[in-house]
Amino acid sequence: NAGVTQTPKFQVLKTGQSMTLQCAQDMNHEYMSWYRQDPGMGLRLIHYSVGAGITDQGEVPNGYNVSRSTTEDFPLRLLSAAPSQTSVYFCASSFRTVNTGELFFGEGSRLTVL
């Protein structure tokens, strides 16, 4: 079982470039989300989705876009990268109907914007 798979694991961008971080899960989870992790800030929610075709903003959505065309995939797009978006990004998923609150995380994507 692959669980939550994120690609790429590492990426370096120049300011103004665009890119997409990919996230796929094979657990048939309805809920998927993106977090960013910064030193001293913990994990902050960027965007989330409760099912295919439904997305919503989290705590720090500016500069990021998402879409959810299938249950399995939840890509995160940076339209014009800025140095402030240098961070480690985590995708996480869970069942929406199982009331445990447990999220399953990917291994992370480390992004550096120069």
60 sits near other proteins (criterion: CB under 8 A)? yes
Select the span of 14-22, 28-36, 62-70, 76-84 touching other proteins (CB under 8 A).
Answer: 28-36
87 sits near other proteins (criterion: CB under 8 A)? no
From candidates 20, 43, 71, 77, binder to other proteins by CB under 8 A: 43
Calculate the alpha carbon distances from 59 to 30, 42, 78 in Å: 20, 12, 16
Which residues, in sequence order, are CB contacts of 91 under 8 Å at separation 6+? 4, 6, 21, 23, 25, 32, 33, 34, 35, 74, 76, 105, 106
Positions touching other proteins (CB under 8 A) are 4, 31, 33, 35, 40-45, 48, 50, 58-60, 90, 92, 94-96, 99-103, 105-108
